[in-house]
Structure 1
Amino acid sequence: MRKGRLVLQGPGEICTNTDAGEHVLLAPGDDTDAQTVLDWLQSFDVAGLYTGAIANAVDYVLDGARTGRYSLLAPDVHPGERASVGAKLEYEVLRSFGLPKEAPLDTLIEKVPVDIKATVGANWAIPSEAHCQLCICTQIQLGKSRHRSWLVRAHRSWLYRGKGNKDGKRGLAVDARALWSIPLYDWTPLPVNPLTLLTPEQAGRVLAKRPGQEQRFTMMFRYLEGHIIPRSVISTVGAGKLDPLRRARNIRRHLARDGLTLLCGKWRDQQDLAAAHKITLGPEDWVALRLEGGLTHDG
């Protein structure tokens, strides 16, 4: 099969890798190690764990509590920072699945070496040590807030030819991914930072240095009535300020003037009130809702 200058060899043919030696290309169903890794992964909610891991990696790169940034697509985010999401994601995935960081690649799954790769573009940079090895390849589409992953053996015969980038990394042929990889899960939504739902004018007011935090938190919850506000968003709006969570708790009386009740998932009764409105609050989530009678206590 021809893809540009690359002629893809199929299962049953010989892969000529000068490092790993000549070996037969196996279809995923015939690759014992791939099936071992797949069996292990199937005991997990892979899509759910990856969703959380990606969200944590993005939050880490944006560092909203110090920078006030909330979108990787913002012009003040350097392309190199976007690319670094993949490097951080590796460690988030290891932590989420309880996997060790262990050579020769990123980890071992049932004693099988596995490399963990991610891209915010259309392809992955496969390093020379991972050629012909098993890789979990994740594609993140920031503009559409979604992601998907495959398990694939990155045979050298299935990588684009040439010397690769300055580190010798080479991209995986699209047809190889389509034909001889194992999809782990299809497109899955990523959490949308509620600050991205604000108009530019609203965002400018909420993230301005003045007025103080309480006034800006009040504006944010008014603008985002009914939307779950994670703790990370509170920290972003209060970037560089002291104790933004306490400031957020202090705004209940301001919201009450507009008929809004501020709920915090730290408290079980407030979780129950949110659930009655079909909203699931995590222990560090907040939401402003219109409730009859308000709260029985301030929490």
Structure 2
Amino acid sequence: MQLVKDWIQDLPVADLYTDSIRNAIDYVLDGARTGRFDLLSPEVHPGERASVGAKLEYEVLRNFELPKTKPLDTHIVGIPVDIKATVGSNWAIPTEAHCQLCLCTQIQLKNNRHRTWLVRAHTSWLYRGKGNKDGKRGLAVDARDNWSIPLYDWTPLPINPLRYLSEEAAARIFAKKPGQTRRLLMMFRELEGHIIPRNAILTVGAGNDDPMRRARQVRALAEKEGLMVLCGDWLDSRDIAATRGINLRAGEWIALKEESEAGAA
């Protein structure tokens, strides 16, 4: 357990998990096809929310550069480790992981945060009984709190900026008309000052051709309204954002008021 802990804690664990969880949620929502952007929306089936954990396993393997191996999910310094996650309050520990090391992540969607423990899933620490039909059993809360190793404290989970839209604004932005260029302009106008990831643009343009090209076309329209639409893929945009104290990364967009207008305000 100490060897695995030492290996993990040499890495930016919280950041890697944050990225992994965000990617897993985006994958489940599939916004580019469905137009969905909120995992707690009634449009999302509870089974889909639960599947975030299954997808997260592969995102963690990718971000931590770990192999997919048997008998559990991976090996860390030659030691078998299972990767578990829940959007609820407990995990379903499979029989093959009983008494084995597990990375257990809890995602609180309502509070937009997450945390992860390294746990030895002793059978004496699992809830009594046969468990579910697959023999999976939950981990006792006192075992989690007293005999596991927290890898990082509660860490914020980035909020999809589309969730900041009012119901009225969202209805206009996701309507079939006007065309997606105009609707993307509405989005930038409503979310002025918010960093907008590429996935949010694909979600607004769900079902349409080349939303990213339409986003680039928004720049000229936005300028007429005194808005600068910046993209982290462009060096000049990154430089402009930096002058405002904003670190705009590749794939990220932001709409900012022109300096003169901002100063007048």
Same fold per TM (> 0.5)? yes
2:49 to 82, 99, 106: 82
SS in 1 for 2:259: coil
Q: Does 1:62 align with 2:45?
A: no
Distance between the aligned counterparts of 1:217 and 1:255, measured in 2? Answer: 10
Runs of 4 or more off by more than 3 Å in structure 1?
A: none
Distance between the aligned counterparts of 1:74 and 1:276, measured in 2? Answer: 37
Q: Tell me which residue corresponds to 2:242.
A: 275
Q: Does 1:144 align with 2:111?
A: yes
Aligned residue identity for 1:127: P
Distance between the aligned counterparts of 1:168 and 1:125, measured in 2? Answer: 9
Q: Offset of 1:292 from its aligned partner? A: 3.3
TM-score, structure 1 length as denominator? Answer: 0.86
Distance between the aligned counterparts of 2:146 and 2:259, measured in 1? Answer: 56
Q: Does 1:108 align with 2:63?
A: no
Q: Does 1:205 align with 2:178?
A: no
SS in 2 for 1:262: strand
- Identical positions, percent: 68
Aligned residue identity for 1:178: D
Aligned residue identity for 1:179: N
Distance between the aligned counterparts of 1:293 and 1:108, measured in 2? Answer: 56
Q: Tell me which residue corresponds to 1:12.
A: none
Aligned residue identity for 1:241: N
Q: Offset of 1:293 from its aligned partner? A: 7.6
| Gapped regions of structure 1 (runs ≥ 5) | 1-33, 295-299
Distance between the aligned counterparts of 1:183 and 1:275, measured in 2? Answer: 35
Q: Offset of 1:242 from its aligned partner? A: 0.3
Distance between the aligned counterparts of 2:141 and 2:12, measured in 1? Answer: 26
Aligned residue identity for 2:199: S
SS in 2 for 1:168: coil
| CA deviation string 1:146-199 (max 9, x = no partner) | 000000100000000111111110000000001100000010001110000000
Q: Does 1:266 align with 2:233?
A: yes
TM-score, structure 2 length as denominator? Answer: 0.97
Aligned residue identity for 1:162: G
Distance between the aligned counterparts of 1:42 and 1:121, measured in 2? Answer: 25
Q: Tell me which residue corresponds to 2:125.
A: 158
Q: Tell me which residue corresponds to 2:252.
A: 285
2:223 to 256, 272, 275: 256
Task: Choose between structure 1 and 2: higher helix proportion.
Answer: 2
Distance between the aligned counterparts of 2:170 and 2:121, measured in 1? Answer: 43
Q: Offset of 1:291 from its aligned partner? A: 2.7
Distance between the aligned counterparts of 2:245 and 2:33, measured in 1? Answer: 33
Q: Offset of 1:211 from its aligned partner? A: 1.2
Question: Once superposed, what is the RMSD of the aligned Cα atoms?
Answer: 1.1
Alignment of 1:1-299 (within 5 A): 34-292=1-259
Structure of higher CA gyration radius: 1
| CA deviation string 1:219-269 (max 9, x = no partner) | 000000011111100100000100101111111222112210111111112
Q: Tell me which residue corresponds to 1:4.
A: none
Distance between the aligned counterparts of 1:144 and 1:200, measured in 2? Answer: 20
Distance between the aligned counterparts of 1:257 and 1:291, measured in 2? Answer: 10
SS in 2 for 1:175: helix
| Gapped regions of structure 2 (runs ≥ 5) | none
